[in-house]
Chains A and B, each alone.
Chain A
Amino acid sequence: MTMGPFNAAVTGIGQSEVARPSARSGMQLTVDAALLAIADAGLTVADIDGVVCWPGDTDNGSSFSPVGPLALKSVLGIETNWMSGGYEGPGPLTGIINAAMAIGAGLCRNILVFRTITESSARLVDRNAASLANKTAGRDSSFFWQWYTPFNVRSAINLIAMYAQRHFHEYGTTSEQLGWIPVTLRRNAARNPKAIFRDPITIDDYMGSRIISTPLRLLDCDVHCDASTALVVSRGDVARDLRNQPLRIEAVGSALKQPWSWDQISLTEMVTRDVARMMWSRTDYKPENVHMAQLYDGFSILTLMWLEGLGFCGRGEGGAFVEGGTRIALDGILPLNTNGGQLSGGRTHGLGYMHEACLQLWGRAGDRQIEKHDVAVAAAGGGPLGGSVLIVRD
Chain B
Amino acid sequence: MSRKLPALTPDNRAFWQGGEQGRLMIHHCGHCDRWFHPPAPVCSRCCSRSVEPRPVSGKASVYSFTVNRQIWDTALPDPYVVAIVELVEQPGLRFVSNVTDCPVDAVHVGMKVAVHFLAQEDVWIPLFRPEAQS
Contacts and interface: CB of A to CB of B under 8 A. Distances in A.
B6 A140 contact: yes
A335 B12 CA distance: 46
Contacts of A151: 3, 82, 96-98, 125
Nearest to B127: A151
A262 B69 contact: no
B25 to A, nearest CB: 15
Contacts of B80: 152
Given A169-B64, A211-B69, A152 B84 contact: no
Interface string B21-49: 00000000000000001100000100000
A147 to B, nearest CB: 6
Given A131-B72, A263-B94, A264-B37, A158 B66 contact: yes
Interface residues on B, range: 20 to 34
B6 A214 contact: no
A150 B3 contact: yes
A138 B66 CA distance: 26
B76 interface: yes
Nearest to A216: B66
Contacts of A139: 5-8
Contacts of B96: 147-148, 151, 153, 159, 262-263
A166 B63 CA distance: 8
B68 A165 contact: no
B67 A213 contact: yes
A202 interface: no
A105 B56 CA distance: 51
A140 B4 CA distance: 7
A165 B66 contact: yes
A267 B38 contact: no
A76 interface: no
Contacts of B109: 165-166, 169
B70 A261 contact: no
Interface string A149-172: 111111101110111011001000
A158 B82 contact: yes
A283 interface: no
Interface string B51-77: 000000000000111111110110010
B87 interface: no
Contacts of A60: none
Nearest to A140: B6
A369 to B, nearest CB: 37
Interface residues of A, number: 39
B57 to A, nearest CB: 20
B83 interface: yes
A231 interface: no
Contacts of A152: 3-4, 68, 76, 80, 82, 98
B69 A263 contact: no
Interface string B92-103: 001111100000
A140 B123 CA distance: 12
Interface in A167-225: 169, 210-216
A147 B84 CA distance: 11
A139 B63 CA distance: 28
A146 to B, nearest CB: 4
Contacts of B125: 150-151
Contacts of B9: 141
A158 B109 CA distance: 16
Most buried by B among A133, A146, A166, A210: A146
A28 interface: no
B78 to A, nearest CB: 11
A88 B94 CA distance: 24
A128 B98 CA distance: 22
A262 B96 CA distance: 9
A166 B110 CA distance: 11
Given A146-B12, A155-B72, A262-B96, A162 B7 contact: no
A151 B117 CA distance: 12
Contacts of B3: 149-152
Contacts of A133: 4, 72-73
A299 to B, nearest CB: 12
Contacts of A128: 72-73
A150 B4 contact: yes
7 contacts: A128-B73, A147-B96, A155-B70, A157-B70, A162-B66, A165-B64, A213-B70
Given A154-B76, A212-B68, A263-B94, 16 more contacts: A131-B72, A133-B72, A138-B7, A150-B123, A151-B125, A152-B98, A154-B68, A158-B68, A161-B66, A162-B65, A166-B63, A213-B69, A215-B66, A263-B95, A263-B96, A267-B84
Interface of A: 128, 131, 133, 138-141, 146-155, 157-159, 161-163, 165-166, 169, 210-216, 259, 261-264, 267
Which are the 3 A-B pairs with shortest beta-carbon distances? A141-B7, A161-B66, A139-B7
